[in-house]
Structure 1
Amino acid sequence: MQLELIRNATLKVIYGGHVLLIDPYFAPRHSLPSFTGRSPNPMTELPRPIDDILEGVELVIVSHLHTDHFDSVAKERVPKSLPILCQPGNEENIREAGFTDVTPLTESTVWQGLTITPRQGSHGVGPVAEKMGSVIGFTLEAAGEPTVYWAGDTVLYPPVVETIRQVSPDIIVTHSCGARWDGDLIVMDAEQTLEVSRMAPQATIVATHMEALDHATVTRHDLRQAADAAGLDPSRLLIPADGETLHLGR
């Protein structure tokens, strides 16, 4: 498989011979309000033009409707006829934006030979999770490809642990910027990311969703330092830059 980190959670993935776009966030740098007063968002520009990013895309997956996962620019620029898989409950909102092929991911779904299965996530724990709203992750499986677990906007909590145990994925994509809302952790931080690596010794961890938003608390450098201090083999934790493409196998 080939995984390109565009920015934040946005990925362009070639998997099983098909091109997938995950959580498109296309807003220009500093075009959206700050979350904390530190900087307007997003804090970085897209690494390449939107038309280039969209070239060849066959399927879009939208995990939830926060603006840093499916923004107004994406709603304008993503072709309305492209099939979209989304979190149950978000389908009407996406259809209202003019998309004509929208399917809620309620159960394991086979699309063009790819098996896509929704997985539980929690955008924080306790009251902050209610403020953030529901989210999903998913797993990807296909003949001849590594099994991928895209955890999404979640902290490390029991259902994530159970997914790792049940699926034994080859690749785990984490959101590892340690973002906080009202002081509460709402995605994984460095320690939780390292804990994922410890509980899945067979897996390569790909840490994303970093350095794009002003409520993040963990940088790529911070995460690498923590991994080095913990003695983690650098080949087991990949921290791509925006625009970087990874070639991944079992």
Structure 2
Amino acid sequence: MSPPSLQFLGHSTVRVELAGRTVLTDPLLTARLGPLRRVVPAPPPASWAGVDLVVVSHLHNDHLHLRSLRLLGRSTPVVVPRGAGRWLTRQGFTAVEELGPGESLTDGGLTVTATHADHAAHRWGPRLTHGPHAPAVGHLLSGGGTTVYAAGDTDLFPGMTDLGADGIDVALVPVWGWGPSLGPGHLDPAGAAAAVQQLRPSVAVPVHWGTYAVAGLTGLPSPWRARMRALLTEPPRRFAAEVAGLAAAGGAATRVALTAPGSPVVLPADADLPAEGPS
């Protein structure tokens, strides 16, 4: 058994190398997304080369981004929530699989299992309800004795405790977003720390922060400038402090791996992870 190799490419995009396979979560690889601008460098092609499988948590454009998927190639296998497959196939993608909560597929030594997520299901939600619809999911990536949980976008839900009971080595946990406030179905730093108490992973990696902002909001003089600049850096640190405080009060002794967008995830040496050895 050996621990996974992970690289946080930004927003909810993480490259996960596990059980001989390379997985990309919710690929968002471009410098722009509508009114949003990337505030850190876009990942170089080498960081998303050689991907065997893509997992997409839900239909929102910052998680199912067609232009980014096209960069990976239309024949790259993509796993989407049940109900989204036909729509994505119509966009020209040729290797699309659907998974609903509790359903699994295998790819070599890797098993991918979809989990429940509490988040808007429409492509243009939560305020609009037209267009494609498929319930949001998270994913468990398991192989070689290791499990990585990619939460996608979600609020707290009771089933998190059950996920944790099955054993999670690394959890990719959203801690903010791209704007000055959060809409429904998201976790802020305190909510993400509460999720960690239910999931009880050995290591938590804060994601969904520090990557995109509304154009001009961090630079042009406005009442939002100072707040947005702070929100590009503070949420993962607040999350880590919340997790540490809960652990000191007798909660889960999860280690937090703070990782800047674009950087490899350095897993703590003293975390309770599978030992190095043959995978």
> What's the TM-score bracket when you normalise by the shorter of the two chains?
0.7 to 0.9
SS of the residue 2:155 aligns to: coil
CA distance in 1, matches of 2:181, 2:188: 16
Task: Give the match for residue 225 of structure 2.
Answer: none
Gap change, CA 1:123 and 1:42, over 3 Å in 2: farther
Task: Give the match for residue 32 of structure 1.
Answer: 34
Residue correspondence of structure 1 range 155-174 to structure 2 within 5 A? 155-165=155-165, 167-174=166-173
- Give, in angstroms, the shift of residue 236 of structure 1: 0.8
- Give, in angstroms, the shift of residue 45 of structure 1: 4.2
CA distance in 2, matches of 1:27, 1:43: 8
Alignment deviations for residues 209-234 of structure 1 (CA, whole Å, 9 cap, x no partner): 10234488954424414533653589
- Give, in angstroms, the shift of residue 131 of structure 1: 5.3
The structure whose Rg is larger is 2
Indicate whether 1:117 and 2:102 are aligned.
no
Task: Give the match for residue 262 of structure 2.
Answer: 243
Indicate whether 1:143 and 2:140 are aligned.
no
| Paired residues of 1:180 and 1:186 also in contact (CA < 8 A) | no
Task: Give the paired residue count.
Answer: 237
CA distance in 2, matches of 1:28, 1:226: 26
Gap change, CA 1:42 and 1:175, over 3 Å in 2: farther
Indicate whether 1:209 and 2:222 are aligned.
no
Structure 1 residue runs of 5 or longer lacking an equivalent are 34-40
Task: Give the match for residue 93 of structure 1.
Answer: 87
Task: Give the match for residue 224 of structure 1.
Answer: 237
- Give, in angstroms, the shift of residue 14 of structure 1: 0.7
Give the TM-score of the pair, scaled to structure 1.
0.81
Structure 2 residue runs of 5 or longer lacking an equivalent are 215-227, 268-272, 275-279
Indicate whether 1:103 and 2:97 are aligned.
yes
- CA RMSD between the two structures: 3.0
> In percent, how many aligned pairs have the same letter?
26
CA distance in 2, matches of 1:177, 1:129: 17
Give the TM-score of the pair, scaled to structure 2.
0.73
CA distance in 2, matches of 1:220, 1:235: 21
| Paired residues of 2:259 and 2:266 also in contact (CA < 8 A) | no
| Paired residues of 1:121 and 1:160 also in contact (CA < 8 A) | no
SS of the residue 2:240 aligns to: helix
Indicate whether 1:23 and 2:57 are aligned.
no
SS of the residue 1:164 aligns to: helix
CA distance in 1, matches of 2:87, 2:238: 41
